[in-house]
Amino acid sequence: MPDPITKVSIIISKGSLEGIYPGLIMANGARAEGIEANLFFTFFGLDAIHQARHDHIKVATVGNPGLHLATVAGGLPGVSTVMTHYLNHKMEALDIPSIPEFIEMIADTGAGLYACQASVDLFGLEKNDFIPQVQDIITVGEFYEKAAGGQIIFT
């Protein structure tokens, strides 16, 4: 049997629903396997840990070929909202937690939660804007230090 994975550091760089969930599932799944995990939120991924925004994450309905929805349709007012409601409803039926609940859960498993300093500067944010579970705002160099000895997963 090959050597098991013992540590992962996952970067979440996107702000759409489908752009955020995979990283969360990877982090939660890692912890359930006894794998050490860090989550690092950068660029629009910061919305997932932003107190005012983390409950309003939407599905991208434009420029999203995976949705099989014509761009001209996806761009109509309200379509993203409807699609988001629909997906959220389906996820609830499968007991997949909402993004805020999921991140709180992941923090409870002992995973590290960090925000990207550069993106925080870019968007003019501060620690107070984030959920309390965010441990620190760190630079890319500090991220590499924390990721040492493990694998890095970029989403």
Q: List binders of other proteins among 93-132 (CB under 8 A).
A: 95-97, 105, 108-110
**Which two tokens mark 99?**
């993004």
Smaller CB distance to other proteins: residue 111 or 120?
111
Residue 1, interface with other proteins (CB under 8 A)?
yes
Q: How many residues interact with other proteins (rule CB under 8 A)?
A: 15
Residues 20-39 that bind other proteins (CB under 8 A): 25, 28-29, 31-34
Nearest to 47 by CA among 153, 147, 131, 113: 131
The nearest distance, CB 65 to other proteins, in angstroms, is: 24
Q: Which of 11, 7, 37 is nearest to 23 (CA)?
A: 11
Residues at the interface with other proteins (CB under 8 A): 1, 25, 28-29, 31-34, 95-97, 105, 108-110
